[in-house]
């Protein structure tokens, strides 16, 4: 072996050794961050603001636990994102279950289906009492978490689920619902939705009365899915903190479901919370643009080939074959958390994954077991342990307690509202 060959091989060995050491060091750092994240999540209840398991059970097995054991759903095709074993692995301590129903059905039918969704959550708690217990207050959540169980909370996903009736709203509260998303994707008789044609420039007078009655009851006002003017009107009217159960920052991804910066600033003044979501088009601007371009192309084909769905389908198949949608990532979700922290502070951030309400998820956040990985990424970015405790649960507990205090005061000041939507005709 000549000297040049010896030197070359020596340098190659040193380089490979350096790369091996660097890889091992990086892996060790990741493992340490994840372990630290797990320890933090075991000290405070991790809230998730939105999960659609009730909807999955409705459509997969007509709510029959006899046909689908919730302890393990990994065998399903297509897969679910949630089950008991993965909730435990993800260190979830408090889950807001969405009792969503379709916004396009008659509202009387929406009320009936909402009751069925609520019934499912109650039966789930009863079937798995060692894992779940219904929580109605912040104190309940802390007590349930201390007992080693997951606090079950319910949120309605749209004002269509009360059928334009404050009496129905009150009965939903009595059944355990503790937040209501003001709209889903459809503009209502009293509130404008994001992505739908506005009719009211925000809330109507009846819509404002809905907010006031929610405050009196102690039901949180959720502004995900609403139009910006609805967001602003609700924050202006509400005497309690508002929440966004599953929304991101519009400054980073321009989807109409995300929250503009001026509304984020209002949310800070209101002492509310934005629960960052994992919906891919709300997370990645590249992915949002990709699907916006796809939708525009489909509209063009439908215009050029009216009444020819097979032709349109053929063009869309060709379009999809030539293109691949960009994926969002766990790191991009963390970018949204960074943006909200930098603008309004860490005290107004939570997590609302939207698991089992969407078909695809960011890389690294494929199911509910992955929450520790997101918190590990935040630790890597320099967030403190106290920051993570706030994001995980302390912020949501504060919002709940503030709403409960407002309710106690308002119940002393006001009787239940007797206002009807017809009063404003």
Q: pLDDT, tens digit, for every residue of 45-54?
A: 999 999 999 9
**Domain match, 146 and 295 both:** no
What are the pLDDT digits (tens) for 371-414?
A: 999 999 999 999 999 999 999 999 999 999 999 999 999 999 99
Q: Say whether pLDDT at 57 is over 90.
A: yes
Distance CA(375)–CA(34), nearest Å, equals 7
Q: Say whether pLDDT at 366 is over 60.
A: yes
Distance CA(336)–CA(220), nearest Å, equals 23
Instruction: Kindly state whether residue 155 falls inside one of the protein's structural domains.
Output: yes
Instruction: Kindly state whether residue 365 falls inside one of the protein's structural domains.
Output: yes
Distance CA(350)–CA(339), nearest Å, equals 13
Distance CA(403)–CA(217), nearest Å, equals 9
Instruction: Kindly state whether residue 3 falls inside one of the protein's structural domains.
Output: no
**Domain match, 347 and 317 both:** no
Q: Please say which residue of 295, 323, 351 terminates a domain.
A: 323
Known catalytic residues are: 50, 52, 157, 184, 225, 246, 354
Instruction: Kindly state whether residue 16 falls inside one of the protein's structural domains.
Output: no
**Domain match, 306 and 383 both:** no
Cβ atoms within 10 Å, residue 423: 10
Annotate 284-345 with DSSP letters as a single string.
-HHHHHHHHHHHHHHHHHHHHSTT-HHHHHHHHHHHHHH--PPPPBHHHHHHHHHHHHHHH-
**Domain match, 189 and 291 both:** no
**Domain match, 260 and 372 both:** yes
**Domain match, 316 and 333 both:** no
What's the CATH code of the domain at 372? 3.20.20.140
Q: Please say which residue of 323, 339, 372 terminates a domain.
A: 323
pLDDT given at position 239: 99
**Domain match, 336 and 353 both:** yes
Distance CA(200)–CA(170), nearest Å, equals 24
pLDDT given at position 6: 59
- Average pLDDT of span 195-207: 97
| Beta strand ranges found along 2-105 (DSSP E) | 46-51, 92-98
- pLDDT classification of 9: cutoffs 50, 70, 90: low
Q: How many domains does the chain have?
A: 2
Task: Return mean pLDDT, the chain.
Answer: 96
DSSP 423: G
Q: Say whether pLDDT at 73 is over 70.
A: yes
DSSP 356: T
**Domain match, 167 and 209 both:** yes
DSSP 307: T
- The share of the chain scoring above pLDDT 90, in percent, equals 92
Q: Say whether pLDDT at 13 is over 90.
A: no
DSSP 424: G
- pLDDT classification of 425: cutoffs 50, 70, 90: confident
pLDDT given at position 407: 99
**Domain match, 206 and 277 both:** yes
What are the pLDDT digits (tens) for 325-364?
A: 999 999 999 999 999 999 999 999 999 999 999 999 999 9
Instruction: Kindly state whether residue 25 falls inside one of the protein's structural domains.
Output: no
DSSP 417: P
Instruction: Kindly state whether residue 2 falls inside one of the protein's structural domains.
Output: no
Distance CA(375)–CA(384), nearest Å, equals 10
Q: Say whether pLDDT at 195 is over 90.
A: no
CB contact at 8 A, 337 and 264: no
Instruction: Kindly state whether residue 46 falls inside one of the protein's structural domains.
Output: yes
Domain interval for residue 61: 42-284+327-424
Helix runs in 156-260, H state only: 166-174, 205-217, 228-237
**Domain match, 308 and 168 both:** no
pLDDT given at position 12: 63
**Domain match, 219 and 265 both:** yes
Structure tokens at 391: 């994001």
- pLDDT classification of 109: cutoffs 50, 70, 90: very high
Q: Please say which residue of 297, 323, 349 terminates a domain.
A: 323
Instruction: Kindly state whether residue 213 falls inside one of the protein's structural domains.
Output: yes
**14 half-sphere exposure, CB direction, 13 A CA radius:** 6
**Domain match, 348 and 204 both:** yes
């Amino acid at each position: 072996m000549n000297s040049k060959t010896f030197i070359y091989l020596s340098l190659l060995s040193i380089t490979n050794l350096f790369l091996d050491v660097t890889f091992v060091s990086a892996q060790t750092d990741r493992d340490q961050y994840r372990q630290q994240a797990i320890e933090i999540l075991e000290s405070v209840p991790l809230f998730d603001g939105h999960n659609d398991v009730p909807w999955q059970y409705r459509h997969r097995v007509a709510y029959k636990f006899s046909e689908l054991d919730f302890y393990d759903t990994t065998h399903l095709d297509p897969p679910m994102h949630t089950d008991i074993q993965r909730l435990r692995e993800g260190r979830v301590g408090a889950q807001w279950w969405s009792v969503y129903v379709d916004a396009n059905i008659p509202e009387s039918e929406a009320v009936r289906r909402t009751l069925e969704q609520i019934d499912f959550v109650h039966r789930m708690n009863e079937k798995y009492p060692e894992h779940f217990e219904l929580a109605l207050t912040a104190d309940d959540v802390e007590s349930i978490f201390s007992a080693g169980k997951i606090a079950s909370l319910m949120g309605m996903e749209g004002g269509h689920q009360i059928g334009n009736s404050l009496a129905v709203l009150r009965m939903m509260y009595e059944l355990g619902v503790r937040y209501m998303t003001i709209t889903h994707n459809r503009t209502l008789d009293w509130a404008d939705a994001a992505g739908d044609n506005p009719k009211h420039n925000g809330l109507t007078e009846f819509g404002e009365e809905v907010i006031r009655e929610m405050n009196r009851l102690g039901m949180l006002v959720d502004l995900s899915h609403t139009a910006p003017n609805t967001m602003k009107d609700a924050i202006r009217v509400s005497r309690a903190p508002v929440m966004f159960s599953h929304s991101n920052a519009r400054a980073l991804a321009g989807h109409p479901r995300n929250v503009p910066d001026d509304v984020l600033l209002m949310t800070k003044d209101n002492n509310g919370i934005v629960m960052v979501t994992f919906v891919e088009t709300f997370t990645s601007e590249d992915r949002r643009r990709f699907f916006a371009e796809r939708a525009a192309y489909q509209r063009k084909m439908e215009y050029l080939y009216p009444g020819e769905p097979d032709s349109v389908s053929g063009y869309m198949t060709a379009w999809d074959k030539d293109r691949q949608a960009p994926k969002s990532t766990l790191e991009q979700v963390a970018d949204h958390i960074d943006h909200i922290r930098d603008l309004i502070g860490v005290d107004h951030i939570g997590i609302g994954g939207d698991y089992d309400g969407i078909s695809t998820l960011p890389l690294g956040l494929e199911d509910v077991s992955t929450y520790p990985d997101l918190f590990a990424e935040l630790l890597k970015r320099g967030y403190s342990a106290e920051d993570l405790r706030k994001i995980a649960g302390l912020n949501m507990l504060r919002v709940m307690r503030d709403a409960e205090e407002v309710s106690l005061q308002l119940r002393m000041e006001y009787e239940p509202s007797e206002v009807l939507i017809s009063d404003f005709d």
